[in-house]
A and B are shown apart, each in its own frame.
Chain A
Amino acid sequence: MISIGTQAGLAYAFVEREVALMKRYWLWELVWIIYGIVTSLSVAYIGLAVPIISGSAVDPVTTSRFVLYLLVGTIAWRFMGLVFENIAEIIAWERWEGTIEYTFMAPVPRLTHLAGMAGGTIIRALVFSVTTLFAVMLFIPVDLSHANAVSAIVMLLVGTVAFMGLGIASAVFPLLWTEKGLQMAYIVQAVVLLVSGVYYPTTVLPSWLQALSVISPATYVIEGMRRALLDGADLVALWPLVWPALLVGVLSIPIGLRAFIAAERYAKRTGRLKRSG
């Protein structure tokens, strides 16, 4: 019988490992945090520059709303993007280091293993995103007077679940092909970025890309966060955006897990479950 306490203890091993790696690679982590802050600031300054770029007067309230619109996109994407990419990156990293053999040989159910990895990833994404948010607020005044924080947090949690599933599914690529697999995962992430309305409404996309935006959970999460933080929408009002993202999460986690287990079996049959590089 599988005890939840035992599984939580096993999953914690991966969280602790991620935190230990963050400490050891602190300089790299600092670089990525600074990079994230600068990226978000640059996007926010585009919002502030709208009157100059457009050559027409824009009232300060509209400008402030536009800045927050962009900031929500960039910071929410930073969070979900990290959740998505980190799981695939860890698998690739473990193959390069050769530790993948020991991880997969350990008596840890795959669900526990992946849940632990996702837990470590969420901590890292939270540190990055919260730091970015506060750093940006030091430079640019952000009007959160209408914000519904609870709704925004719920939307982010829903997005986390959805992106965990997508991250697990995309980790199949580096499990089978270390370098090419990671490249494939990045391409998937890039397409999700394009179609999810991170910096613009999805309605500006060509219709065939809008079709893709319908299946991206980020579309609903980012739109929901905007409505929560810009207009103070409550969860009842956001439900039409919550359920599709939740549906993707509920479906993508078991599908991603099954795909991962199938890929593991294939890797074991073909001798790919070993150090690469």
Chain B
Amino acid sequence: MAIAVRENIGPPTVGAAHPALRAQDIVKRFRSSGKDVAAVDGVSLAVARGEIYALLGANGSGKSTLIRVFSTLLEADEGAVSVFGLDIRRDELAVKRLINRVSVEASFFKKLSAMENLVYAGRLYGVAAADARVRSREILIRLGIAETRHDEPLEKLSRGMQQKVAIARAFLTSPSLLLLDEPTTGLDIRSKREVQTFVRDLRDAHDATILLTTHDLDEAERLADRIGILHGGRLVAEGTTAELCARYGARGTLEEVFMTITGRKIEDLEAETNDGPAREPASET
């Protein structure tokens, strides 16, 4: 089944010579216990048009902070970001039209139905309500959510289903650059596969560019054209899976690569960072 998307999907013609995303020397510090802690420490990367780029790293490595910078929700302290050649600060509104994001937590008006939330989201991106309803229905069905559930309040759907609706919200607006922040966390295996297939189809059929953060090594390997590994806020390695394995992994697996670069398994790092202080402070101060 083809993915229903707007006709204007795909990279914009403006700035055709530019990569979909370019970040240069990004630094983001947060104040924690009276000290400045660098959540992102001098990261530079470029994602080509039509590429799926996975950022790997444990919790607290700076993945989500970077995604929030790229999605205009967080201002970097240093460095520059451009999306299809448009500066993320100077051309903020134009950049916003080109991007969308799925975060690890599905955030919605939970009393409203999936359809109401999607129509609202579509309107914010200039999608007419009737059009949004048709395409939302198609995307939700494609993601495995039966039509009978589309008009139920979201609070009655499972977490996995809510996450799929969040993914549908991002797809609905036909972003040229899709930022996926751990989009399959909390989904069962089957749902993960559905989402991963959908992501691939979106790129293949519509030339969308996708930046994905994950700590699922299998997902990164399955989806990404190139992978960057973040550790301690720095981009410590970058390349295709084959290149990384050739460079770091004696046994040719991403896990081996990760262990060689960080000195730990990703699961160990997660356990460590889960116990330790968060890199981003709580907002209520």
B142-197 interface with A by 8 A CB criterion = 153, 169
* Cβ A104 vs Cβ B124 within 8 A: no
Please state if A9 and B123 are interface contacts (CB–CB under 8 Å): yes
Chain A, range 1-35, C-beta contacts under 8 Å to B: 6, 9-10, 12-13, 16-17, 20-21, 24-25
B248 within 8 A of A: no
A106 B125 Cβ-Cβ under 8 A: yes
**Do most interface residues of chain B lie in helix, strand or loop, or is the interface mixed?**
loop
CA distance A194 to B135 in the complex (A): 51
Interchain CB contact under 8 A, B73 and A98: no
Beyond A10-B124, A21-B112, A107-B97, whether A101 also contacts B73 by CB under 8 A is: yes
Contact A13 B74 (CB under 8 A): no
Q: Does B72 contact A (CB under 8 A)?
A: yes
Q: Mark B48-82, 1 if CB is under 8 A from A, else 0.
A: 00000000000000000000100111110100000
Which residues of chain A come closer than 8 Å to B108, judged between CB atoms? 97, 99
A108 at interface (Cβ–Cβ under 8 A)?
yes
Nearest CB in chain A: distance from B185 CB, A: 15
State which of A9, A268, A270 has its C-beta within 8 Å of the C-beta of B126.
A9
Contact with B along A157-183 (1 / 0, CB 8 A): 000000000000000000001111000
Residues of A within 8 A of B93 (CB): 107, 109
Q: Which of A96-151 contact B (CB under 8 A)?
A: 97-99, 101-109
Q: Judge whether A60 is part of the interface by a CB distance below 8 angstroms.
A: no
Say if the beta carbon of A258 comes within 8 Å of chain B: no
Q: Which of B114-133 touch A at CB < 8 Å?
A: 116, 119-121, 123-126
Question: In the docked arrangement, what's the CA distance between A103 and B117, Å?
Answer: 12
Interface residues of A in 21-62 (CB under 8 A from B): 21, 24-25
Query: Cβ of B280 and Cβ of A271 under 8 Å apart?
Result: yes
Chain B residues closer than 8 Å to A272, beta-carbon distance: 283
A80 touches B (CB below 8 Å) = no
Q: Mark B100-120, 1 if CB is under 8 A from A, else 0.
A: 110101011111100010011
Please, which residue of chain A has its CB at the minimum distance from the CB of B107? A98
Docked pose: A244 CA to B281 CA in angstroms: 44
Pair A108/B124 contact, Cβ less than 8 Å: yes
Q: Are A177 and B109 in contact (CB under 8 A)?
A: no
Q: With A98-B107, A99-B109 given, is the CB distance from A105 to B120 under 8 Å?
A: no
Contact B73 A178 (CB under 8 A): no
User: Which residues of chain B have C-beta atoms less than 8 A from A106's C-beta?
Assistant: 96, 121, 124-125
Sorting the interface of chain B by its residue count into under 10, 10 to 19, 20 to 34 or 35 or more gives 35 or more
Cβ of B284 < 8 Å from any Cβ of A? yes
Q: Which of A21, A179, A271, A272 has the most CB of B within 10 A?
A: A271
Which residues A80-102 have CB closer than 8 A to chain B? Answer: 95, 97-99, 101-102
Instruction: Say whether, besides A17-B109, A24-B111, A103 and B124 are in contact (CB < 8 Å).
Output: yes
Distance in angstroms between the alpha carbons of A154 and B120 in the assembled complex: 32
Whether the Cβ atoms of A97 and B125 lie closer than 8 Å is: no
**Chain B residues with CB below 8 A from A277, complex form:** 284
Q: Which residues of A contact B107 (CB under 8 A)?
A: 97-99, 101-102, 275
Asked whether A268 lies within 8 Å of B73 as measured between CB atoms, the reply is: yes
In the complex, A98 Cα to B116 Cα: how many Å?
A: 17
Please indicate the chain A residues that have their CB under 8 angstroms from the CB of B198 in the complex: none
CA distance A105 to B96 in the complex (A): 6
Interface string of A244-273 (1 = CB under 8 A from B): 000000000000000000000100111111
Q: A106-B124, A276-B284 are in contact. Are A20 and B73 (CB under 8 A)?
A: no
Interface members, chain B 16-33 (any A CB < 8 Å): 30-31
CA distance A21 to B110 in the complex (A): 10
A268 B71 Cβ-Cβ under 8 A: no
Given A17-B120, A102-B121, A265-B75, does the pair A180, B284 have CB atoms closer than 8 Å? Answer: yes
Question: Footprint of A on B, CB under 8 Å?
Answer: 30-31, 68, 71-75, 77, 93-94, 96-97, 99-101, 103, 105, 107-112, 116, 119-121, 123-126, 153, 169, 280-285
A-B contact list, 23 entries, CB within 8 Å: A9-B123, A9-B126, A10-B126, A20-B116, A24-B153, A98-B105, A103-B124, A104-B73, A105-B99, A106-B121, A107-B93, A107-B97, A107-B125, A108-B124, A177-B285, A265-B75, A268-B73, A268-B74, A271-B68, A271-B74, A274-B68, A276-B283, A277-B284
Q: What 4 pairs across the A-B complex have the smallest Cβ distances?
A: A98-B107, A13-B123, A106-B124, A107-B96
